[in-house]
Structure 1
C-alpha cells in the first residue's frame, strides 16, 4: 500500500474539505460541503457515468438494433425518381365529414307504364352532365352523381328515368366550359380531360372541348368574375385542394395573372428544362433558386398559385437528375407548394434519401429547407399521412447528428414542434384512437430526434417549457411494448436527468415511477433499455428523498430490481472466463454491457437505502445482500472497478442500519472476507470504501477482534499519513471504535499513531473541524485508563498536544482563516457552528484530562539498570 510521508502531506495546499479545486463559487462550496457531510455520516448517493450510445453510421430509419419486423416499418433504402410523383398532384385533403348512406333506387323501378322516349346519342353526349357541386363542401351529395354514371354506362336502348331526363334542362348542370369524361369517349376526348376530373386541379390551363349544338347554356358569370375582361380568361381549379375551399370549386385567372405567368414563371420553367436536358447542374440549381425566390416574393407558394399544377408537373420531370443538391432544391419547391398524398410522401422520401449521406449536411444549412421541413412537420396529419411524416421526421433525425444543424434546429423551435406532435398523438389516443404501429414508427423518429436535440445547452429549458417530459411519460404509458420507442425515450431521460430541474419534473409526474417499472418488467432482457431506465431511476433517487420513498412504494418495484439483479448477475457469471464482446462508445472506451446494467441497478438500490424508512427494509433482504456479496466475491477491482466500488458503497449504506433483522450482520463473516480482499488490493478508493463499511461494522466487538487479528488496525494508523483528507477521516472513524477495547490501545502508540494524530490536528483542524473532533475522540478513548499524561501519550507528544489544543480552543486564533474571503456568510456560520458544537466539547475535555495528569516530577530510573 502506497502512502505519503508527513513532509509530502504538508507541502500540499491546505484547503478545507469542502473547497473544490480550481475556481470557486459560494454555491459550489456549500453544495460540496453538504455532499461531503452526507458521505461522512455513513450514507452516500452513488454516482455513475451516463450510458453512451454508439453513433449509427448507417443513417437509417430504425438502426441496426431495431426489434421491428421488416413488414412493420418503412424501408430506409428505396429507388425514387420522377415516375413516383403524380403529375396531376392527385393528392386531396381527406374529408372527415361522415356522409349519409345513399338511398339507392333501382334504375327500372322508376319507370312508368308509358315507355319513355329513347334519347339520341347526341343528347346523351351533351346532356348527361354531373350536377353542380353544393356550396357547402361538407354536404357533398354523391347519390345523384353515382346514378348519373350508372345511367351513362347503360345501353342507349335502355329506358332512362324521368328524373335523369329532367336534369338535362335544369340549372344544376355544369357549364360547357367544364367538360366531363364519358365512359365511352375515345382516346382523343380522354386526352383533353381537365385536371380536376382526375381528383386535383391546381390552375393548369386545359383545352376546352367545343360545345355541341345541344349543349346547355352556361350560367352567367358574376360581376366579380367579369372584372379585368380585357384579355383571354383561363379557368383554374386551384381551390379544389385548398384547405379552405370546396372540392371542385373553380377560380378564374385574371389577365394580369396570365401575363405574369407567361412573362415570369414560364420562362424560368423553360430554362430549367433546358438546363436539365444539357445536364448543366450549376445553371439548373441557380434557375431553381430564382424560381423559388420569385414565387416566395409574390406569395405564390403554398396553394395560392393558380398555375400550381403546371409548375409542379415541370418540377417532377426534373427529379431524375443525379445531383443531390439539385434534388434538394427541387424537393424544397415541392414541399413549399404544400402537396399532399402520394406527392407529399415521395417528396419526404426524397429529402430523407438525401439526408442519409453525411456529405449533404452542408446543403441543409443553405436557404430555408430546415424551416420547410418543420412546416411540413407541423401541417401533416399523423393519422392520414403517417408514412410521409415518418420520412419527414426521419430526415430531421438524421440531420440532428450534425452539431451545427442541431443548434439551428433548436433555434427554429424544433423541440417545441416535436412536443406538439407528441401531445397531438397522446390526445387522440386519450380520445379513443388506437396506438397503431404507424404511430409508433412516427414516434421512434420523433424521439430519436429529441434525443439528439437534448444535447444542446438551451434544450433543457425548452423541454421543460413545452412540457415535453410530461408528453414523453404519456408516450411510455401508451407504447410500453415498443422496444425501439422505449429505448429512445430512456435515452432522452438519461440525458436530461443529469440536471436537477429535469429530475424534479420527472419525479413529480404522477405516473413516472409506474411507467419506468413497467418498462423494466416488459423489457427485462433488453440491456440497452434496462441500463438507461436504471440510470434514470438512479438520477431521480440520488438527491430526492421523496423520490426514494415513492419508487420503493410503487407496487412490485423492488422485486423487479432484484429480478434484474439476478438475471444479469447470472449472465455475468456465465460469461466469466469467456471473451465477452464489448461495446465501443463515442469516446473510444469499451463497455461490458452486462456489467453496465449491474452498475446501474446496484446504484438504484444504494440510493434507495439512504431513506431511513426504506434502508432497514432492504438491509433485511437476504437475497439482495447475497447478490451484492456475490459481486464482491466474483469480480476483481482491477478489471471491474466501478462495479465493485458501487457494490461496496451499497453494502456501506446497508451496514449503517444496525437492526436485529440485518442481513449484513448475519452474513458479516462473508462481508468481512470480501472487504479484506479490497483492502489488500492496490486501489486507494476501494480501500476507503471498505473502511467505510468497517466504520459501521466495528460497532460490534467480534468484528473488531477479527479485524485486529488481520492487522487492519495497524493499516489504519498507516493511512493517517495519507494526504487524502477523506482517507484520513475514514481511518479516524474506524480507529475510534478500535480504541474502545483496552487491548487494542497499545498498538496506537507502538505504530507512532499519537504523533500522526497530532500532525493531523496541526495540518487539517482549521479547515476541517469535524476531522479535528474525530482525532480528539480517538485520543479520549485511548486515554481511558490514563494515570500520567507523559506515560500515556509520551512526554513530547503530551507537550505538543497541550499546546495545539490551547491554540485551537482560542476563538480568535481558531477562526482567523486565511481563506475566509472565499466563503460567504452562510458557510462562515456553518464553520463556526462545527467548531463550537463538535470540536470544542471533546477538545476541552481532552485538554483537561491531559493537564490533570501532567507532573513535573522526573520518572524514577529503573534500579536494575544501574
Structure 2
C-alpha cells in the first residue's frame, strides 16, 4: 500500500484507473485506522506524510479527499498520531486547500475541520502555524457564516413545517459542521494573537451570538457548549478593537437563559464569560439588576472546583464596589467563600488564591473586618489562612504524588502571596471583642 501511495503522488503517474485503486486503498486504510494495533504501523511507515501528499495531488478527487479526511480525523484523536501529523510539512496548507476546494461537501468538511480542531486543541505552535497561513482565518469564518445561515434557514423550515422535536439530542448535518467549526475557533482563540483578531472580528462574534440566541441547550448541547466556550475565550481579550467588549451588554443578556438552565456545563461556560465581562461596571450593574449574582453565589455550593473557580472570578469583580459587595454579603457569599476555602484549599491552591482575592476585595476598605464579615466567619477565615500558610501543614496535604511539584508551585505562587496579605489585613483590622447586643 505504501508503494502504491508513493507511486501515485508523482503527477505523471496519475490516471483514472489509479484514482479508482486509490479510492479502494484509502477505504482500507480508513478501516484500519479504527484498530488500535494499526496505529503504530501508521507512525512507523510515515503514513501521515504520504497521506498529506496524496491529498495534495488528488485535491480534485472528492472520494479520495473524503477517505483521507476520514483517516486523519480518526487518527488525530490520539496524541502520538496528532503530533506526527502536525510535524508533516505543509499539512495545514494542504488541509486548508481541501476546505477551500470542497466547501459544500459536508462529510469531508466536517472531518477536516475536526482534524484541525484536534491539532490545535493543545498546541500553541499549531495555532500559530495555522493562523499564519494566508487566508486561513478568512476561510474558517466564511464557513462559519455560511453554515450559520444554512442552520438558520433550516430552523425556519422546521418551524414552518412543525418538524421541530422537543429535546432533540442528535445534531443535524449542518449543526455537526458548526460544532466542529466553533470548536476550532475556540481552540485557535487560546493563542493571544489569534484570539485578539477573532475578538475584533464582527462577523465572528455576531455568528457566535446568533447561535446562542436561537439554539436551545437541551436540543443541541454540544454546539451551544462549544459556542459559549468560544465566547469565553474571546471575552478574555478586552481592548479598543474588541467587538466582544463593544457587544458586552447584548452578550450578557443572551447568557441569561443559560444561567437559568439545568445544564451545569452551560452554566459554567456562561459564568466564565460573565467573569471576563464583569470587569466592566455596566456588566456588573446588569448582573445585579437581573439577579445573576444570586445564581453566582449559589454556584459556590456546587461542590465542583471548576464551577467555584468561575464563580469566584465574577465575585472578585463585583466585590470592588461597596454597594455590590453588601448585596453579595446579604446573599451569603461570605459564608460560602469560607466553606469553599475549607473544602478545596488543600487540593486546589489556585482556587484558594482566588477565594483570597475575593475576600481581599470584600475587606479592602473596611476598618473592622470582624464587624464587616461577621465574627464567626472572620474567626474561621483566620484559622484557615493561618493553617494553610504554614508550609508544613500545606505539604502534609494529601497531594497527588505525580503533580506534587506543580501543586507546590501553585501554593507558593498562587496562594501564599495573596493569603499572606489577606491574613495581615484581617489581623490589623479585626477586633476579637464581639459587640454586646443593644438594650431590650
Q: TM-score, normalised by structure 2?
A: 0.94
CA distance in structure 2 between the partners assigned to 1:774 and 1:578 by the alignment: 47
Contact 2:259/2:295 (8 A) holds in 1: no
How do 1:583-662 and structure 2 match up within 5 A?
Answer: 590-662=170-242
How much has 1:472 moved relative to structure 2?
A: 1.1
1:524 equivalenced with 2:103 (yes/no): yes
Return the index of the structure with the highest Cα Rg: 1
How do 1:725-804 and structure 2 match up within 5 A?
Answer: 725-804=305-384
CA distance in structure 2 between the partners assigned to 1:535 and 1:634 by the alignment: 23
Query: Residue deviations 1:428-462, cap 9 Å, x none?
Result: x2xx33x2222111110000000001111221111
How do 1:126-205 and structure 2 match up within 5 A?
Answer: none
How much has 1:536 moved relative to structure 2?
A: 0.6
Contact 2:363/2:372 (8 A) holds in 1: yes
Contact 1:695/1:733 (8 A) holds in 2: yes
Query: Residue deviations 1:516-549, cap 9 Å, x none?
Result: 1111111111110100000011111111212111
| Unaligned residue ranges in structure 1 (runs of 5+) | 1-417, 581-588
CA distance in structure 2 between the partners assigned to 1:579 and 1:464 by the alignment: 45
Contact 1:619/1:663 (8 A) holds in 2: yes
Q: Which of 96, 116, 119 is the aligned partner of 1:537?
A: 116
- Which residue of structure 2 lines up, in the alignment, with residue 689 of structure 1? 269
How much has 1:748 moved relative to structure 2?
A: 2.4
Q: Which of 414, 419, 429 is the aligned partner of 2:2?
A: 419
How do 1:434-449 and structure 2 match up within 5 A?
Answer: 435-449=14-28
- Which residue of structure 2 lines up, in the alignment, with residue 807 of structure 1? 387
RMSD: 1.8
Judging by fraction of residues, say which structure has more helix: 2
- Which residue of structure 1 lines up, in the alignment, with residue 298 of structure 2? 718
- Which residue of structure 2 lines up, in the alignment, with residue 575 of structure 1? 154
CA distance in structure 1 between the partners assigned to 2:435 and 2:185 by the alignment: 59
Contact 1:648/1:689 (8 A) holds in 2: yes
CA distance in structure 2 between the partners assigned to 1:484 and 1:757 by the alignment: 57
- Which residue of structure 1 lines up, in the alignment, with residue 166 of structure 2? none
CA distance in structure 1 between the partners assigned to 2:170 and 2:324 by the alignment: 46
Cα 1:532/1:858, change in 2 over 3 Å = closer
Q: Which of 834, 843, 847 is the aligned partner of 2:423?
A: 847
How much has 1:501 moved relative to structure 2?
A: 2.2
- Which residue of structure 2 lines up, in the alignment, with residue 257 of structure 1? none
CA distance in structure 1 between the partners assigned to 2:15 and 2:388 by the alignment: 73
Contact 1:595/1:643 (8 A) holds in 2: yes
Q: Give the secondary structure class of the aligned counterpart of 2:192.
A: coil
CA distance in structure 1 between the partners assigned to 2:126 and 2:437 by the alignment: 68
CA distance in structure 2 between the partners assigned to 1:646 and 1:719 by the alignment: 21
1:823 equivalenced with 2:406 (yes/no): no
Query: Residue deviations 1:202-230, cap 9 Å, x none?
Result: xxxxxxxxxxxxxxxxxxxxxxxxxxxxx
Query: Residue deviations 1:390-412, cap 9 Å, x none?
Result: xxxxxxxxxxxxxxxxxxxxxxx
- Which residue of structure 1 lines up, in the alignment, with residue 54 of structure 2? 475
CA distance in structure 2 between the partners assigned to 1:439 and 1:648 by the alignment: 46
CA distance in structure 2 between the partners assigned to 1:798 and 1:478 by the alignment: 70
Cα 1:558/1:837, change in 2 over 3 Å = closer
CA distance in structure 2 between the partners assigned to 1:617 and 1:511 by the alignment: 23
Cα 1:746/1:515, change in 2 over 3 Å = same
CA distance in structure 1 between the partners assigned to 2:149 and 2:129 by the alignment: 29
Q: How many residues align?
A: 432
How much has 1:807 moved relative to structure 2?
A: 1.4
Cα 1:579/1:550, change in 2 over 3 Å = same
| Unaligned residue ranges in structure 2 (runs of 5+) | 160-168
